[in-house]
Structure 1
Amino acid sequence: MKKLMLLSVAGMFILTSCVSKKEYMALEEKQKETQDLLNTATVKLNSCLSDKAAALARVDAMKEQLADLRKANQDLIDTKGNLTTLTQKGAENLEKSLESLKEKDLKISRLQDALTKKDSVTLAIVTSLKKAVGINDPDIEVNVEKGVVFISIADKLLFKSGSYNVTTKAKDVLAKVAKVIQSKPDFEAMIEGHTDSRTYSKGVLVDNWDLSVKRSTSIIRVLQELGVNPSQLIAAGRSSYVPLAENDTAENRAKNRRTRVVVLPKIDQFYEMIEEEMKNLSAEE
């Protein structure tokens, strides 16, 4: 463009010196037209350059959008793969959980069966003892406490006040108890002595502990004399620490002075099964 302008100017000087005024005016008019065309072309060129820059900017923006879309698409593909994996794992875990629940239901059923058998044995023992003792006396009770069968005998049927010597009348009752124990060689019988809270000390007996244990061993000797296998017998004294009532009246103290014959059937197979199943359940939690 610049070269063209220079040539035009040079041409004007040459023509001015060589041509007439009319021709000079025509050339000047032509140069003006040429200049206008040059200006128009320059404006169009600048506009094209501006449009090109804008187009390049749009291309760059679209490239960034395309890269973002590709990344988002890949993320979706990865997420889908992860969800598929999680779904498979979830199904496997659910199947394992259902299988575990089935196993636990089976074990619970076995525990319930064992407890039912234990309750049946306990009921049979109570019926047998009540039938064998055969005494309708409020001072003698055959009962079940926390799954254990026991015979509770008031002290007035067994001992004189402050004594650990078994009375003759008591031997009649103990003979029936001995008969039950003898008929159940797989049973054990724990003899528990209980006293009231009044302080006791006499001879070699220092306190109520001594008295409760001495009364237990006295009854055990009678049961042994009546033919009970001594390996089935257990001596125990509870002193005054497991009362049935407050030791505030003579009547209540009489209730607390008692001997319990606790019958312990050897149903180890049931207890062992329960303990084993409970351990298994605890280990799986």
Structure 2
Amino acid sequence: MQRICVIGGSRYFGRLLVERLQAAGHQVTVINRGSARPPAGVEHLVADRDDEAVLVAALGSRAFDAVVDQVCYTPVQAAIAARAFAGRTRRYIMTSTIEVYDPATAALPALPAGIPVPEENVDPRTWLVAMDLPWHDEAYLEAHYAEGKRLAEAVLTRDSNFAFASVRSAHVLGGRQEFTGRLTYYTERIAEGDEIAVHAKALPTVFIHHEELADVLLWAATATGFTGPVNACSDGLLDVRDLAAVVAEQTGREPVYRTVAAGGAASPFSFDRHYAMSNARANQLGFAFSRTADWLPGAVAEALAASAAPSA
């Protein structure tokens, strides 16, 4: 049994992670702002992780074997966490994102299209950290999501006294309450015969099921001692037309495409730039991923069922 702290953990794969940690026999503490209570038997600390004094007071004298940070988006938040959890944990896991590799958001080493991107393409040890940007402004943060994640990784890599690892998640799908709504976008538009805007040469990307991501985070927190970034994605590259084809098979309706000009706005998961990730490092460390083709039809079925269900 380990003592695990989850920051966030109130919805989607974060809540599933809490449930799986508890089922595995670990002693779990959840820290959030009180918007949702964790499952029975899980310790709940109500605190705003952006308020360092409040966070430290809520933690009291508690110590943990590992912390899983589900809601770290900025270097400011990372710096607060590095101070607040100094001496309180031996291991810290941050949920990061595939978007740290997006060449549209930073000058990154280029790889030929079709070569999955390895972790070293974004090395947090070398990333320049800017703490004085308006990270507390929601509009700024939304527009600089990828950079916020890169800088948060950089701070926790360089300015903490615990072992740090980041799990860079692929695009997450699955579940009847998929919070991004991106898969629902396709099920609804294809079912209704509405247009889907795509790039003329849409490039493939990678995905992960929400249950598999919970499993990766559990593994990262409890079963290994690796540090640094690790990519988390199911096996198999898909482009936007591949995804739409799976939806079309279940709806019985052929997708209607509209091609956008180069640089134009397109539908979710239509990319005109290459940054599909490689999961080779996680495989080498011992985590075996599923195949996207095996679980995607079920995720589409869930999205269709959720759309068809009467609203409360």
Q: TM-score category by the smaller chain?
A: under 0.3
**Normalised TM-score (structure 2):** 0.25
**Higher strand share goes to which structure?**
2
**Higher helix share goes to which structure?**
1
Instruction: From the CA coordinates, give the structure whose radius of gyration is larger.
Output: 1
Higher relative contact order (CA 8 A, sep 6+): 2
**Normalised TM-score (structure 1):** 0.27
